[in-house]
Amino acid sequence: MLFTLLPGLGSAADLAAVPPGEVVSTAALVDEGILYAASYETPGRAGHLRAFALYGSRQFRLWDAAEGIPLPGAALPPPVAPNLDALAPQFSGPAGERLIFTNLDAAHGFPLLTFHAQAAHALQPLLGTADLAEAAALINAVRGRSGTSAAAPGGSGDNPVRLGAISRSSPALVGSSPFAAAAFRDQVLYVGAEDGLLHAILAGRWSSTASGYDASTSGCGRELWAYLPGSLLPFLADAGGGPDGVVSPVHVDGSPAVSDLFFDSNGDGRREWRTVLVGTASAPAANRGVVFALDVTDPDAPRLLWETALSEAGLGRSRGAAIGRGSEWSAAPPRIYLTAGTSTRVAGDGSIDPANGSFGVLACALELADGTLRWRFAAPYPGPAASLAEPPSVPALMMAASSGGVDGLVFGDLAGRLWSLDPDSGAPCGGGPLWQSPGGADEPIGTALAVRNRLALFGTGGVETAADDRNYAVYAVEILPAGARLLWTHPLERGEKLWGAPTLDRFGRAFLGIGTDQADLGRLLVVAADGTPAGNVALGGAPHGGLVLAPGAVVTVSRSGQVEQVGELRQEPGRANASAGRVRVLTWRVR
């Protein structure tokens, strides 16, 4: 079954290729028969986040979030500076206007406030503009107004493109929860974009009649709110006025991690269940990273827990974080485990050394409640990778079977090294990399790994810097207390790469979406637990975001937006397969 991500409705036979230049480079997800896939246009860098119904022999588009961004408004700063309380988000602004919020810096205690021209007095020092008029013009431009200037801060019209390119952040879908007092709350998609915003998109409303979520009801696909990390405010002046053809210098570029957690979220000494989202962002030109945590228990009224640039750690760009605990689940408070590139060059011992060091990998553990840095690990890239200011793979958590805590933080890097760090100290297992790919820096480990028990499964070549004319491979490595053991290798054809994380089923079989960039060709490879090939299906395109295992089917989305479904989904969307007893999070870690 084959169709494509085309704007508009129609049957499978009616759907053709996406508009020329549209690219899918992040992981799609399928939930209750609904496919959610993000993409971006080139040139132009406009983003899309579409929902498709996939059931039986019918497929059709439900909505595109790019069409559901509310109008920006064209406000001017008031003549008198309002107090900060008046600027705090009320989550119910003027009818039809979008809600964007941000936060001030540490000197002000990181208060949350509406990103609106009415807040220009408070935001001007951080924006670095010459006066209030320029600050208001910049704010309105980021909100989606065109033609803004100091002479006309309100601009001349509404920019039709108000969703930036979604190029590195895979969406996370969050719905009901039995723990966080939200058994029937709305489903929301959280995703980052090149407009510097984390977007919250209404994805589905609970239907008591169908005992499930309805993704086609009125309002679905609409932006509820967006968050702009305060650490990015000084870089907005270089944005050129929003996502209207200029690549933004601010980017929420990590995939959100979401979890229900039992902890003291407000410092009152009482622990309670909350749904927490952790995201990462960056100012790419300055190679500066940001990490933040939001309480999204009530998706209509989020609460900022904290936001930090971790300047003392040298945080650069990141692909995302993971949420877990220490080695003892019951004793340790929840933590954030983060991998990133270094923002500056580091020496062999990981210390900052701008003059003589190399760029490298950075890993951190932070307390989830307040963002306190618990430990930092850094290692320079060797040889030809020393000049690459690029992040390693998204961290994967190796779970301890006895305690339920984290037994290791596992990730791969651009020098082809596999690492496992102690979750309590950050010390590398075995004193250094666990394993090295045969090609070294010429065979970098891709953007994500699958970890189950002590098995780490990953591919090489799936990063932007990897050459297109080499042979890469899929590797299965057993992580041992003081090292690692290679279990099996599956060589790939010349130019083939594994971009997304492998997906493991309950039998230990690995499902891999493999692609060739130059010809946009791909295939679905299935490998048994012992490394024996168990299936090979030709695909019409390279699935850069990986693949999705759904009930009865495997779904892939190619780089050019072509969707292929191997098998047939067993249930229609919105039916009684929706559990009112769990958060639907399909992207924050490999299951």
Residue 588 lies in a domain: no
CA distance 317 to 329: 29
Task: Give how far Cα 178 sits from Cα of 205, 298, 433, Å.
Answer: 17, 13, 40
Q: How many CB atoms lie within 10 A of CB 498?
A: 29
119 lies in which domain range? 84-158
First to last CA, the chain: 26
Whether residue 243 is found in the same domain as residue 312: yes
If pLDDT is split at 50, 70 and 90, which confidence band does 94 have?
low
Residue 208 lies in a domain: yes
Residue 134 has what DSSP assignment?
H
CA distance 364 to 278: 14
Mean pLDDT of 88-98: 78
Residue 567 backbone zone (phi > 0: left; psi -120 to 50: alpha; other: beta):
left
pLDDT more than 70, % of the chain: 87
The predicted structure's pLDDT at residue 403: 55
Check whether 229 has a pLDDT greater than 60: yes
Check whether 206 has a pLDDT greater than 90: no
Residue 538 lies in a domain: yes
Q: Are 569 and 543 in contact (CB under 8 A)?
A: no
The predicted structure's pLDDT at residue 136: 96
Q: Work out how many domains the chain is built from and give that number.
A: 2
Radius of gyration of the chain (CA): 23
Check whether 472 has a pLDDT greater than 70: yes
Mean pLDDT of 326-353: 84
Helix (H) or strand (E) holding 133: helix 132-143
If pLDDT is split at 50, 70 and 90, which confidence band does 84 have?
confident
Q: How many CB atoms lie within 10 A of CB 529?
A: 17
* Range with the poorest average pLDDT among 104-113, 268-277, 483-492: 104-113
Residue 477 lies in a domain: yes
The predicted structure's pLDDT at residue 445: 94
Q: Are 177 and 583 in contact (CB under 8 A)?
A: yes
The predicted structure's pLDDT at residue 357: 93
- 3-state helix, strand and coil shares in percent for the chain, rounded to the nearest 5: 10, 40, 50
Whether residue 547 is found in the same domain as residue 501: yes
More confident residue, 331 or 316: 316
Whether residue 511 is found in the same domain as residue 398: yes
Give CA angle at 401 (396, 405), nearest 5°: 60
Mean pLDDT of 6-21: 39
Whether residue 153 is found in the same domain as residue 172: no
Whether residue 144 is found in the same domain as residue 234: no
Whether residue 529 is found in the same domain as residue 398: yes
94-108, 232-246, 358-372 — most confident range: 358-372
Q: How many CB atoms lie within 10 A of CB 351?
A: 10
The predicted structure's pLDDT at residue 586: 26
CA distance 576 to 378: 48
CA distance 491 to 487: 14
The predicted structure's pLDDT at residue 16: 30
Whether residue 122 is found in the same domain as residue 212: no
pTM score, whole prediction: 0.91
CA distance 499 to 501: 7
Q: How many CA atoms lie within 13 A of 350 on its CB side?
A: 17
The predicted structure's pLDDT at residue 62: 92
**Token representation of residue 387:** 């000049």
Check whether 456 has a pLDDT greater than 60: yes
Whether residue 107 is found in the same domain as residue 202: no
CA distance 496 to 493: 6
The predicted structure's pLDDT at residue 327: 59
Mean pLDDT of 257-274: 87
The predicted structure's pLDDT at residue 5: 45
Whether residue 325 is found in the same domain as residue 183: yes
Check whether 70 has a pLDDT greater than 50: yes
The predicted structure's pLDDT at residue 402: 57
If pLDDT is split at 50, 70 and 90, which confidence band does 328 have?
low
**Domain final position from 127, 158, 189:** 158
Mean pLDDT of 487-504: 93
Q: How many CA atoms lie within 13 A of 218 on its CB side?
A: 0
If pLDDT is split at 50, 70 and 90, which confidence band does 19 have?
low
Dihedral (CA of 294, 296, 297, 298) sign:
positive
The predicted structure's pLDDT at residue 267: 79
Residue 591 lies in a domain: no
**Domain final position from 129, 158, 187:** 158
* Range with the poorest average pLDDT among 34-48, 161-175, 568-582: 568-582
CA distance 19 to 5: 9
Question: Please, what is the average pLDDT of the chain?
Answer: 85
The predicted structure's pLDDT at residue 266: 80
**Domain final position from 112, 128, 158:** 158
What CATH number is given to the structural domain containing 243? Answer: 2.130.10.10
The predicted structure's pLDDT at residue 8: 35
Residue 23 lies in a domain: yes
Check whether 583 has a pLDDT greater than 50: no
Whether residue 504 is found in the same domain as residue 543: yes
If pLDDT is split at 50, 70 and 90, which confidence band does 106 have?
confident
Mean pLDDT of 241-249: 49
Whether residue 133 is found in the same domain as residue 170: no
Mean pLDDT of 259-266: 86
pLDDT tens per residue, range 143-199: 999 999 999 999 999 999 999 999 999 999 999 887 876 667 899 999 999 999 999
pLDDT tens per residue, range 369-421: 999 999 999 999 998 889 998 999 999 999 866 556 788 999 999 999 999 99
Q: Are 71 and 158 in contact (CB under 8 A)?
A: yes
Residue 492 has what DSSP assignment?
-
The predicted structure's pLDDT at residue 144: 94
SS3 401: coil
Task: Name the residue type at position 418.
Answer: L
The predicted structure's pLDDT at residue 504: 92
Helix (H) or strand (E) holding 8: none
Residue 575 lies in a domain: no
pLDDT more than 90, % of the chain: 60
Residue 584 lies in a domain: no
**Token representation of residue 140:** 């309105």
Whether residue 137 is found in the same domain as residue 176: no
More confident residue, 548 or 245: 548
Check whether 423 has a pLDDT greater than 80: yes
CA distance 274 to 451: 26
Residue 381 has what DSSP assignment?
P
Dihedral (CA of 296, 302, 304, 310) sign:
positive
